[in-house]
Amino acid sequence: MKLLEISWGKALGFFAVLLAVIAAVLQHLENCEETIYTRMTHDLKTLAEDFRQKNKSCFILGASGETGKELLKEIVERKLFSKITLIGRRQLTFEDKAFENLVQEVVDFEKLDDYAAVFQGHDVGYCCLGTTKAKAGADGFIRVDHDYVLKSAELAKAGGCSHFNLESSKGADKTSGFLYLKVKGQVEADIEPLGFERFSIYRPAVLMVDRQESRPTEWFARKVLGPISSMFPTAMSIPIQSVTRAMVANTLIPAGEKVEILENKAIYDLGKDPEK
């Protein structure tokens, strides 16, 4: 009995130390990144009013996906653009009358050069295209997340788009040994030389969202990270609404760098102050 008590005591002590280490790591991840958005000084309401006066147009790639749907909703609610074009492989249906003035262009992503006209005449572009290796296979994943995205960016630049917004991923790195992160980093690097007046890259961590499609790994991660995110909201995850609010808010803020990368904490900080 005494040996059992000692064993339990050691086990409890080990887990206590382990939890303390995990908490310290999460605290470090939460606070290690300083961002210019931590103390937001921009008046987003005034910026939005000024932006509307410019009668700008935008397109959204990937509006049928989770981020794209939330982004479209955010843009429509704020009435920022005089024209909104959805570019995708199929026509989308909307019940809300707020979406009735959308322009929809159906394209074949395997033959995007044939649809160059679709990309002409837009001031701002948002790219939320993406799939998974599990769904499309390695080659299919590369084709969608790299080839389709890069070709769309090329056509957008040729069509006059000045501000291109790309949803990427935390940890994106073209030298990564992980295919997902390598492809995300490579497409970032390949778009940069196109020379947009402004190129904004968003690198969110695990998106907290209930997807319609089944992604078991992501589902498990959300279940594990859910409780953690309440205490450490930017360490390992982010609500999808924060991402889309940040993308829209960043569009309103005057450009700083020509190429800007917003990591997870910057996205979270910027996404906390929506103009409603």
**Beta-ladder partners of 202:** 167, 262
DSSP string spanning 233-276? Answer: TTTSEEEHHHHHHHHHHHHHSPP-SSEEEEEHHHHHHHTTS---
Under 8 Å between Cβ of 135 and 170: no
Residue 184 bears catalytic tag: yes
How many whole angstroms separate alpha carbon 38 and alpha carbon 96? 35
Give me the catalytic one of 184, 202, 265, 268: 184
Helix or strand or coil: residue 167? strand
Q: Encode burial over 15-44: b for 16+ CB neighbours within 10 A, e otherwise.
A: eeeeeeeeeeebeebbeeeebebeeeeeeb
**Burial class of residue 128 (count of CB atoms within 10 Å of its CB; 0-12, 13-18, 19+):** buried
Which helix H or strand E contains 206, and what residues bound it? Answer: strand 206-208
The DSSP bridge partners found for residue 200 are 165, 260
Tokens of 64: 């049928």
258 is catalytic: no
Catalytic residue (choose from 73, 180, 182, 272): 180
Which residues are the active-site residues?
180, 184
